[in-house]
């Protein structure tokens, strides 16, 4: 009997089971805060009425407050009315992805004070299909020009090596219109250097930009912060490959001299895109 008591005492010291009751202990209550569903970030809807149809944007006023507020100032003051989409960038080899660019084209009668840069590393947003982002030559110089992503172009996101560009919303209706604009005729002669052939001709007019009634039920689900949303039209492997193409392979497609869109080529020819510069608001655009 003494031997049994000593054995049980040894099990207790070692942390071993003493009785079946130990395996029946009530587990701790789940963390109520952790179990609560995530509340979607608040967005403000804006409709661009274009010559090809309406495009509805959900502006990320919580996650990108400065850049979204900047865009709303242009909307509320009707500074985007009568502007145009003037450029469509596509990969020359047919790889899925690209963007369309539009806005004020640095018109001194339309532009407001530049807005401070909000990198995607701060906002948690990303340059995925349907993202709308602020065009700028350098961080903190963006005004009234913007670009809309087709396919994933995450090389525009900020990382430890480059500031990237400021996503401030996403298209929630009208991606068919965005694609129609991207597929519109382009001038074979307009544009400078490697930008030649990327200028829309005719340009697509933005007739009005207005706030729209908020959707019932709050914000729309999004992939902007990594959550899966509606299936994208392109194969994921192709999108990932396009987003991480070597900088060396981009030199024939985009300028490196401070034009509408520039890339810095790294020494290693196979290094991923690290310093893209999105369409510049100050770049000259052919045509009225």
Instruction: Render 168-233 in DSSP notation, one character per residue.
Output: EEEEEE-HHHHHHHHTS-B-SS-SSGGGTT-EEEEEEEEEEEEE-PPPTTSSPP-STTS---SPPS
pLDDT at residue 257 above 90? no
How many whole angstroms from its chain centre is CA 97? Answer: 13
Distance CA 200, CA 121 (A): 32
With cut-offs at 50, 70 and 90, classify the pLDDT of residue 104: very high
Average pLDDT, the chain: 74
pLDDT for res 25: 52
Report the CATH fold assignment for 44-214+223-277.
Cyclophilin (2.40.100)
Q: What is the mean pLDDT of residues 26-53?
A: 78
Q: What is the mean pLDDT of residues 181-204?
A: 90
pLDDT tens digit string along 43-72?
999 999 999 999 999 999 999 999 999 999
Is residue 166 within 8 Å of residue 67, measured between CB atoms?
yes
Q: What is the DSSP letter of 129?
A: T
Residue 8: both structure tokens together: 């049980």
* pLDDT: which is higher, 283 or 162: 162
Alpha-carbon dihedral 64, 110, 255, 261, rounded to 10 degrees:
10
Strand partners, 50: 53, 206
- Return the SS3 of 132: strand
Strand partners, 147: 101, 133
Percent of the chain scoring above 90 in pLDDT: 53
With cut-offs at 50, 70 and 90, classify the pLDDT of residue 103: very high
Residue 185: both structure tokens together: 């005729």
* pLDDT: which is higher, 286 or 180: 180
User: Which of 136-150, 180-194, 204-218 shows the lowest mean pLDDT across its residues?
Assistant: 204-218
Distance CA 32, CA 264 (A): 48
Task: Give the side-chain half-sphere CA count within 13 A for 18.
Answer: 12
């Amino acid at each position: 009997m003494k031997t049994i008591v000593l054995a049980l005492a040894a099990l207790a010291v070692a942390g071993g089971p003493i009785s079946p009751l130990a395996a029946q202990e009530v587990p701790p209550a789940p963390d109520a805060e952790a179990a609560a569903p995530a509340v979607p970030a608040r967005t403000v809807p804006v409709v661009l009425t274009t010559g090809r149809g309406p495009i509805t944007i959900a502006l990320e006023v919580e996650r990108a407050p400065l850049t979204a507020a900047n865009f709303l100032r242009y909307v509320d003051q009707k500074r985007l009315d009568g502007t145009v989409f003037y450029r469509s960038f596509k990969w020359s080899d047919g790889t899925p992805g690209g963007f369309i660019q539009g806005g004020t084209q640095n018109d001194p009668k339309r532009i407001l004070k530049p807005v401070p840069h909000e990198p995607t590393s701060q906002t948690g947003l990303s340059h995925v299909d349907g993202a709308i982002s602020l065009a700028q030559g350098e961080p903190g110089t963006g005004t009234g020009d913007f670009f809309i992503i087709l396919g994933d172009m995450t090389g525009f996101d900020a990382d430890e090596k480059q500031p990237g560009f400021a996503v401030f919303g996403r298209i929630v209706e009208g991606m068919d219109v965005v694609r129609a604009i991207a597929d519109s005729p382009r001038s074979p002669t307009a544009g400078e250097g490697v930008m030649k052939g990327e200028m829309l001709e005719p340009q697509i007019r933005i007739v009005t930009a207005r706030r729209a009634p908020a959707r019932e039920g709050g914000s729309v689900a999004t992939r902007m912060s990594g959550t899966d949303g509606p299936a994208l039209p392109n194969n994921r492997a192709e999108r990932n490959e396009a987003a991480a193409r070597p900088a060396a392979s981009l030199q024939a497609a985009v300028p490196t001299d401070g034009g509408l869109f520039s890339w810095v080529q790294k020494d290693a020819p196979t290094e991923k895109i690290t310093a893209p510069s999105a369409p510049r608001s100050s770049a000259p655009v052919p045509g009225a």
